Amino acid sequence: MTPEMTLYWLDLTGTFVFGLSGAMLAVRRDLDIFGIAVLAVAAALSGGLVRDMALGATPVAALATSDYLLAALCAAVCVFFAHRQIERLAKPVMVLDALGLGLFAVSGARKALEYGLDPIPAMVVGVLTAVGGGVVRDLLVTEVPRVLREEVYALAALLGAGVVVLADHLAFEPTLSAVAGAVAAALVRILSVYLGWQAPKAPGPRS
């Protein structure tokens, strides 16, 4: 698979998964079908929009083709009809969010590298891509974004992006490194929730 196709499928899969997470949150908030679609699209497309605007990639991928919008709307339809089945999963919104986080972290970093960014800026773009959709989704339902209240959220995205950047430096196969980065980010995020991991905080008393 070519690097361009790898990026396309990472983007499309991440779009669908983040769309599911947005739609599931909408169902939990008792929104109607329009609200479900809006939250699915916002969660699915916002991260990619932030990435492409940061890179100056125009037209942005989410609007250059109908594929991404259709993927987000398909996710909304799936949740509308099958949310009870999805809800049977343990912490479905968190798990879906973790998968989307990993996929978008690696796609953001991969695209940044292709645009010639240095390793550290490429990792930053990966993190921005990963957290963007979740931030917009949470703000739309007046929740404090997870990236601000769950410290390992951004760190997990940074790990996924770091795997891609390191693999690129070592000239590893792009598709395999992208899968490894996405899995690593998702696993760290899921384990952090179940095991109560937190990032270090400043020592001493707080006012």
Task: Give per-residue pLDDT as tens, 164-186.
Answer: 999 999 999 999 999 999 999 99
Q: Is residue 191 exposed (0-12), middle (13-18) or buried (19+ Cβ within 10 Å)?
A: middle
* 207: confidence class by pLDDT, cuts 50, 70, 90: low
**Tens-digit pLDDT profile for residues 132-168:** 998 999 999 998 888 887 668 999 999 999 999 999 9
**Tens-digit pLDDT profile for residues 53-93:** 999 999 999 999 999 999 999 999 999 999 999 888 768 88
**Tens-digit pLDDT profile for residues 14-45:** 999 999 999 999 999 999 999 999 999 999 99
Across residues 88-102, what is the average pLDDT?
86
Question: Residue 197 above 90 pLDDT?
Answer: no
127 CB neighbour count, 10 Å cutoff: 27
| Dihedral sign for Cα atoms in the order 50, 55, 59, 63 | negative
Identity of the amino acid at 22: G
Mean pLDDT score across all residues of the chain: 91
For the chain, the structural domain boundaries read 3-195
pTM of the model: 0.89
